[in-house]
Amino acid sequence: MQPEDMRAMLERQKRAHLADMMPDAAQRMDRLDRLAAMTGDNVEAICAAISADFGNRAKQETLLADIYTVQSGVAHARRHVRAWMKPRRVATALTMRPGHNRLSPQPLGVVGVVSPWNYPYDLAIGPTLAAFAAGNRVMLKPSEVTPRTSELIARLAEKYFKPEELFVVLGDAKTGQAFTELPFDHLIFTGSTPVGRLVAQAAAKNLTPVTLELGGKSPAILDASADMGRATASILHGKCFNAGQTCIAPDYVLAPREKVDGFVEAARGAVTRMYPTLANNADYTSIVSDRHYARLQGLLRDAEEKGAKTVALNPAGENFDPALRKIPPTLVLGATPDMKIMQEEIFGPLLPVIATQGLDEAIAFVNGRDRPLALYWFGEDGANRDRVLANTISGGVTINDTLMHFAQEEQPFGGVGPSGMGAYHGHWGFETCSKLKPVFVQSRFTGAGMLRPPYGATFDRLLSMLKRFS
């Protein structure tokens, strides 16, 4: 799609917004209902398109991470949107009474959404449902890396929505760049930190506010008090789900030095239970593209050349046809900061394991790097847990499991610093896509007129009184 065509569609949506600036609850719920129908009516087609784009994507992973998450988010928004829309009374200073304050949520207008390839349906429709709940129109640019899914979303959007409500822009990275330069009323981007920087710069030209859902290197801290079997099973599930192609996947493990060997053996057992075979196992997802497959192989080679020991968790001892783009879950022992695998977000089933001497060293290791999107802590020692929570900063935390904080509609999801800015999910998505407009309602019985010129002794006495009561 050409930039002038995108701009024309944006203007068309803005005109539609100006003609109906405050959609009522019934209109918003109707759009949410149509999102739910678009999802529920086309589950098989969505699963098939995503699997075809990946080469193989476990259907159950799509059902959980792309279908269920959207359906759950829509259901939650439907239950609460009437309450979210209501103006809220807020406290009024004694000196301003009998006037009163209220906060009125108002739709921003047109929200742009740029979604990634790793969860290509959920991360396109999740921000869209937040924008709809808040009463906005949406232009969506899905990823060109998953073209079948993007094309399916475009066809479904055309079937279930008017272009003035939801319009899907297809195209390559150049199209995506032009999309981010449009003067949206808000822009939600999910993707890598380097691209997020470019998106922020493009949006800044129009002073478009942005929500950036990025990534980074999310640590899993294994405490000395952790149940090794339970913790390792959770960490390996988080790393192997979608073959590690998850922005909140555990990117590396910090383990007490004396626990590393036990972790390796527990990891072997965890992978064997989940995937007795890998190469032709439909439960084990492929890497999305040849480029990403080659990148992951390069990370392993670089680590090995710089002295790391790699341990492939390959229960059946299979050989892997590169055409399948599958890589066995692989531990990287002895990883050091100069290795690329410790400098880049991995986004694959490779897991560095860093030996630490005590919790202070683990905390210092996390704090010596960019603030991560997620942090995972495993253990039973409440004091150590609280030390980690108090002395690290991350977008979100799951204790004694991985990934699960993403699924909480009653909690905001978002990053911090290089892992993102802003948040959505549930009420936070509604507020992200709304202007919370402060309104002060003056009473007819106000003394404010005494603060107007001509100034004199009355003004001085009233100002002195205001100071005493403030």
φ, ψ dihedrals at 352, nearest 5°: -65, 140
DSSP helix/strand/coil, 255:
strand
* CA-closest candidate to residue 129, choices 80, 196, 181: 80
* CA-closest candidate to residue 178, choices 114, 239, 252, 130: 114
Residue whose tokens read 């036990």: 262
Query: Around 96, how many Cα atoms within 13 Å sit in the side-chain half-sphere?
Result: 11
Listed in sequence order, the residues at least 6 apart from 127 whose beta carbon sits closer than 8 Å to its beta carbon are 111, 113, 115, 188, 190, 211, 424, 429
DSSP helix/strand/coil, 197:
helix
Query: Taking the CB of residue 455, how many other CB atoms lie within 10 A of it?
Result: 10
**Radius of gyration (Cα) for the chain, nearest Å?**
25
Residue whose tokens read 């949410």: 32
**What are the DSSP calls for 383-437, one per residue?**
HHHHHHHHH---SEEEESSSSGGGG-TTS-B---GGGEE--BSHHHHHHHTEEEE
In which region does residue 452 sit, left (phi positive, over 0), alpha (psi from -120 to 50) or beta (all else)? beta
Residue whose tokens read 């229960």: 315
Q: How far is Cα 225 from Cα 229, in angstroms, rounded to an integer?
A: 12
* CA-closest candidate to residue 388, choices 220, 241, 262: 220
Catalytic residues: 213, 247
Helices (H), 275-372: 290-305, 359-367
